[in-house]
Every structure is written in C-alpha cells, then in structure tokens.
Amino acid sequence: MWGLDGTRRLVDLPHVSRLRDLLSEDRAEEEFEVTLEALLDRLDRELSRDGGRRL
C-alpha cells in the first residue's frame, strides 16, 4: 500500500521493517578497509608469483 505522499509505508514492508536497525548501520569504512586489504594481499601474491613482470 502506498502512503499519501506516494511512498511505501514501512508497515507494508515486513522484511525492511524487521531489518531496519541493521540497514541503518553505516559500515562502509570498515568494509572498504577489509576489501582494500584483501586486494592488496592479492596483488602482493600475484606480483610475488610472477616476480613483478606483469606490471
């Protein structure tokens, strides 16, 4: 069901309503750091394996 302003009402979206607290968390910085570290580790392994010749 739609609200008067044309948006969906939270009560009509039970999954979103249930996950509201988790969805409102901002973990972008933490996720970026973990992903960047994984990328750097992968690059390090590739460069070590190839002796740095590919770049």
Distance separating alpha carbons of residues 42 and 28, to the nearest angstrom: 21
- Domain borders along the chain are 10-50
Tens-place pLDDT, residues 5-55: 778 787 788 898 899 999 899 999 999 999 999 999 999 999 998 775 655
C-alpha 11 chain-centroid distance: 26
For the chain, the three-class secondary structure string (H helix, E strand, C coil) is CECCCCCECHHHCHHHHHCHHHHCCCCHHHHHHHHHHHHHHHHHHHHHHHCCCCC
Q: Quote the pTM value.
A: 0.53
Measured CA distances, 2 to 10, 18, 22 (Å): 10, 19, 24
